A and B are shown apart, each in its own frame.
Chain A
Amino acid sequence: MKPVKVLTLSALLGSALLLGACSDDADTGATGEGAGDAQLQGEISIDGSSTVYPIAEAVAEEFMLEQPDVKVTVGLSGTGGGFEKFIAGETQLTNASRPIKDEESKALADAGVEFTELELAYDGLSVVVNKDNDWVDQLTVDELKKLWLDNGSTKKWSDIREGWPEEEIKFYSPGTDSGTFDYFDEVILDGGQIDKSATLSEDDNVLVQGVTGDANAIGYFGYAYYLENKDNVKVVPIVNEAGDAVEPNAETIESGEYAPLSRPLFTYVSNAAIKDDEAVAAYTQFTLENASVLAEDVGYVSLPEEKYTEQLETLEGLK
Chain B
Amino acid sequence: MENTTRVKSEEMIGRIDGRLMKNKVIKGIFLTATAFTSIILIVLLYRIISQGAPYLSWDFFQNFASRRPEQAGIKAAVIGTLWMMSVVIPTAAILGVGTAIYLEEYAKKNALTRWIQMNISNLAGVPSVVFGLLGLTIFVRVFGFGNSVLAAGFTMALLVLPVVIVASQEAIRAVPNELKEASFGLGATKWQTIYRVVLPYAIPGIATGSILAFSRAIGETAPLIVVGIPTFVAFLPSGYLDSFTALPMQIYNWTSRPQVDFHNLAAAGIIILLGVLILMNSVAVWIRNRYQAR
CB distance from B243 to the nearest CB of A (A): 5
Contacts of B294 in A (CB 8 A): 1
Main secondary structure of the interface of A (DSSP, over half): helix
Contact A3 B232 (CB under 8 A): no
Interface string of B267-290 (1 = CB under 8 A from A): 000000000000000010001000
Q: Would you list which residues of chain B between 219 and 263 have a CB under 8 Å from chain A?
A: 225, 228-238, 243, 245, 253, 255-260, 263
Assuming the contacts A1-B294, A6-B200, asked whether A224 and B228 have C-beta atoms less than 8 A apart, the reply is: no
At the interface with chain B, which of A57-65, A165-173, A242-250, A253-261? A57-65
Q: Is A294 an interface residue (CB 8 A)?
A: yes
A90 CA / B233 CA spacing, docked (Å): 16
Contacts of B49 in A (CB 8 A): none
Nearest A residue to B83, CB-CB: A21
Contact B67 A47 (CB under 8 A): no
- Given A72-B232, A228-B260, A299-B258, 13 more contacts at CB 8 Å? A3-B196, A6-B199, A9-B207, A10-B90, A17-B85, A25-B79, A29-B238, A47-B230, A53-B232, A61-B64, A204-B258, A205-B255, A227-B258
Contact B195 A3 (CB under 8 A): yes
Q: Is B146 an interface residue (CB 8 A)?
A: yes
Q: Which of A13, A24, A224 sits near B258, CB closer than 8 Å?
A: A224
Contact A64 B234 (CB under 8 A): yes
A20 CA / B236 CA spacing, docked (Å): 12
Interface residue tally for chain B (C-beta within 8 Å): 49
Contacts of B231 in A (CB 8 A): 53, 57, 74-76
Contacts of A75 in B (CB 8 A): 147, 228-232
Contacts of A25 in B (CB 8 A): 79, 236-238
Contacts of B67 in A (CB 8 A): 54, 57-58, 61, 294, 297-298
Q: Would you list which residues of chain B between 90 and 124 have a CB under 8 Å from chain A?
A: 90, 93-94
Interface string of B146-190 (1 = CB under 8 A from A): 110000000000000000000000000000000000000000000
A88 CA / B232 CA spacing, docked (Å): 21
Contact A14 B228 (CB under 8 A): no
CB distance from A194 to the nearest CB of B (A): 21
Contact B90 A1 (CB under 8 A): no
Nearest A residue to B197, CB-CB: A1
CB distance from B78 to the nearest CB of A (A): 9
Contact A203 B255 (CB under 8 A): yes
Q: Is B15 an interface residue (CB 8 A)?
A: no
Contacts of B234 in A (CB 8 A): 60-61, 64, 72
Q: Is A225 an interface residue (CB 8 A)?
A: yes
Q: Would you list which residues of chain A between 262 and 319 have a CB under 8 Å from chain B?
A: 294, 297-299
A28 CA / B233 CA spacing, docked (Å): 13
Q: Which of A14, A47, A76, A224 sits near B86, CB closer than 8 Å?
A: A14
Contacts of A240 in B (CB 8 A): none
Contacts of A298 in B (CB 8 A): 67
Contact A61 B66 (CB under 8 A): yes
Contact B79 A21 (CB under 8 A): yes
Contact B235 A76 (CB under 8 A): no
A73 CA / B85 CA spacing, docked (Å): 20
Contact A50 B256 (CB under 8 A): yes
Contacts of B27 in A (CB 8 A): none
Contact B258 A14 (CB under 8 A): no
